[in-house]
Amino acid sequence: MTAVLSIVSAQAVEGTPAKDSFQFTAKLDIGNGERSCTAALVESQWLVTAASCFADNPTQGFKVAAGAPKLPTIATIGRTDLTRNTGSVMKVVELVPRADRDLVMAKLEKPVTGIAPVNLGFNAPSQGEDVFVSGYGRTKDEWVPNSLHYAKFSVGDTKDGSVNLTGKSDNAVVCEGDTGGPAFREADGRYELVGVNSRSWMGGCLGHEDETRKGALDTRTDDIAGWIQSVSSRDLLKRSNWKYAKHIASGYFTGDPASNSKRRMDMFVAWEDGEATLFKGADHDDPKYPFSAEYKLESKGSYWKNAEAVTAGRYSDTGTDGLTVRWANGKLSTYTHVDEKGFHEEKTLAEPGSWWSHARLITSGRFSANALRDDLIVLWEDGSTSMYTDTGVNGVKKETQLTLKDDGFKNAVQINAIEYTGGKTADLMIRWKDGQTQVFPGGDTKGDHGRLQVTPVGYHWTHAAQITVGNFTKPGGPLNDILVRWDTTDLSYYPNVTPNAIPSKDRGPVGEVQLVG
C-alpha cells in the first residue's frame, strides 16, 4: 500500500457529498499547499489525524517530532462546502504524536465554537461492521473538490493498532488528501470515532486509474481513546477564570447510565455572569485530567444569574442525575436530567415567593437507606436543618426536622453529601467558618455523637469558595473525592478522602491534585 498523501489541496473520500452533521471533519493545509490532509475534531481545541501527514518522508515512516509543526499548518473546521464562508479557519500550533502508530494530536491556536466534536469510541470495530469514512481528498474526476465527501466501508481484519476497510460500493475509495480522515460508526444517534485513514491502494482515484485495488488501512483509535482524551483535555479547565464560578455540582449527567462504572463524574458550573457549563467526566485514569469535554449550556446573562443554591442528585429512575435549584425569588425547581444538550424535565417544587427563599444551603444524597432516589438536606437561615426524602417523587412534602434554630449551624459555610464512612447511606459533610470540616455519618446532625473531623480549626479551607464531592479519581469509584474552587483562580481536588486518609488531628486531606493554578 502507498501512503495517502498529496501535494495538492483536496476534498474527500470518493463518494457522496457529506452532510453538515459531519462538520467535525477538518481540512488541513500543510506548508501553504505543499500537502493536504484530513483530520477530525475530538475536542474544541484538538484534532486527531495521521502522523504521516507531518513526516519528512511519509513513504519512509510516520515518525514526527512533538511540538510546533515544521511546516505552517492551517485547519478548516465546520465547512463541508469549501465555497461557503462558514466554520473556523485557524493555525495548528502543536503536535503530540503517538509513538506506536500513524497518529498525532494537533492543537489549534484557540477552541472552535458551534461545532460538535466527534465522540470517541471505546469499543473495537468488529469484522463486518459498517463505518463511515469522510475526507477532503481528490475524487475520481476532481483534483481539488469543493465539498467534503463520505462513503460507507466494511470492517475487515482488526489488528493491534490498525484495521482494514473495504468500500461498500464501487466509488468508496480513500484517495490522496484523505490521509488522517476519520472512520466512524453511528451508534444511538451519535458518531463514534474508530480510526483515522493511514494508507490506501487508491484504485479509481484521479491519477490512479490503472489501479484496481481499493482497500484501505486505518489506524485504530478505540484502544487509545483514553490517551486521546488525556491529551485533548489537558488545557480544558485552564480556559476558564474559576474566580467567577458561583455554583459547582457533580453528577453522572452525560452518557449511557450503564457506563457510569467506567468513567468519572461530570461537573456542572453556574458562573456569576449567568453562563452555565457542563464538563464531561473522562473515561481514563489520569488523575490530572478528570474531565474530557466542555459544553456551554447557557450564555452570559441567562437566568442562571438568579441561582442562589444548586445541588445535583438522582431524581428519576433513568439512572442519570439532575439538578435542584433554589432561585433568588424563592422558587425551588428540579431538572430531572441534564446533559450536553441542556436541561430537561423541569419540575417546580415550590412557587416563587415561597418559604424556600429562606433556604441558605442545600445538598442531595442517599441519606435514607431505603430511598429509591436522593434526599434533600436543607440548612435554613435560622440555623435549623431539615431533610426531605425521595425528592423526585414526593416533591418537598416529606420533611424531617434534623436540628432546631440556633443549634450552631448558622456557622456552616458549605454542605455536601459524601460517602466518607463506607456505610449504606451517604454522610453529610459541613465546612464551617473557622476552617473546620466535619462529617456527620448518615447525615445525622442530632448531637455531636459520631462527628468525624476532616480538617481542623484554622485550616486553610477557610479559602475554599466552592466545594463539591464526587468521583474524580477512578471510574466507578466512591463519591469521596473533594473538589475545591479556591477564592483565587485555583482549582484542585483531594482524592479518596476517608477517615484513614486524615493523618492527624492537625492536618487535612493529603494527596491534593492541582487542576488549575
pLDDT 10s digits, 178-232: 899 999 999 888 899 999 999 887 767 876 666 667 788 999 999 999 999 999 9
Place 10 in a pLDDT band, splitting at 50, 70 and 90: very low
**Rounded CA gap, 36 and 163, in Å?**
23
For 439-478, the pLDDT digits (tens) are 999 877 665 557 888 999 999 999 999 999 999 988 888 8
> CATH 2.120.10 region(s) of the chain?
238-516
Mean pLDDT for all residues in the chain: 88
Is the predicted pLDDT of residue 1 greater than 50, yes or no? no
Q: Which residue has the cell 478548516?
A: 76
Per-residue pLDDT at 141 exceeds 80: no
pLDDT beyond 60 at 16? no
Name which residue leads in pLDDT, 208 or 70: 70
pLDDT class for 393, splitting at 50, 70, 90? low
84-135 pLDDT, tens digit each: 888 899 999 999 999 999 999 999 999 998 899 999 999 999 999 999 999 9
* Average pLDDT of the residues in 328-355: 93
Half-sphere exposure of 403 (CA within 13 A, CB side): 22
Q: Please list, residue by residue across 266-303, b when 16 or more beta carbons sit within 10 angstroms of its beta carbon and e when fewer do.
A: bbbbbbeebbbbbbbbbbbeebebbbbbbbebbeeebe
Mean pLDDT to the nearest integer, 63-76: 96
CA-based nearest residue to 376, from 388, 392, 384, 359: 388
Distance CA 24, CA 77 (A): 7
Does 5 score more than 60 pLDDT? no
Q: Please provide the CATH number assigned to the domain covering 2-227.
A: 2.40.10.120
**CA atoms of 201 and 301, how far apart (whole Å):** 54
Task: Please tell me whether the overall predicted TM-score, pTM, comes out greater than 0.85 for this model.
Answer: yes
Instruction: Sort 403 into a burial class: Cβ within 10 Å, 0-12 / 13-18 / 19+.
Output: middle
**Which conformational region is residue 319 in: left (phi greater than 0), alpha (psi within -120 to 50 degrees), or beta?**
left
CA–CA separation, 430 vs 267, rounded Å? 20
Burial class for 340, CB neighbours closer than 10 Å (0-12, 13-18, 19+) = middle
Cβ burial, residue 116 (10 Å; 0-12/13-18/19+) = middle
* pLDDT exceeds 50 at position 4: no
Give span(s): CATH 2.40.10.120, the chain.
Answer: 2-227
- The pLDDT score that the predictor gives to residue 214 is 76
Neighbouring C-beta atoms of residue 336, cutoff 10 Å:
21
- CATH number of the domain located at residue range(s) 238-516 in this protein: 2.120.10
371 confidence band (pLDDT: 50, 70, 90) = low
**Span 316-335, mean pLDDT?**
93
Q: Does residue 352 register a pLDDT over 80?
A: yes
* pLDDT in the model for residue 144: 67
Residues across the chain: 517
Could you give the CA distance from residue 267 to residue 301 in angstroms, rounded to a whole number?
21
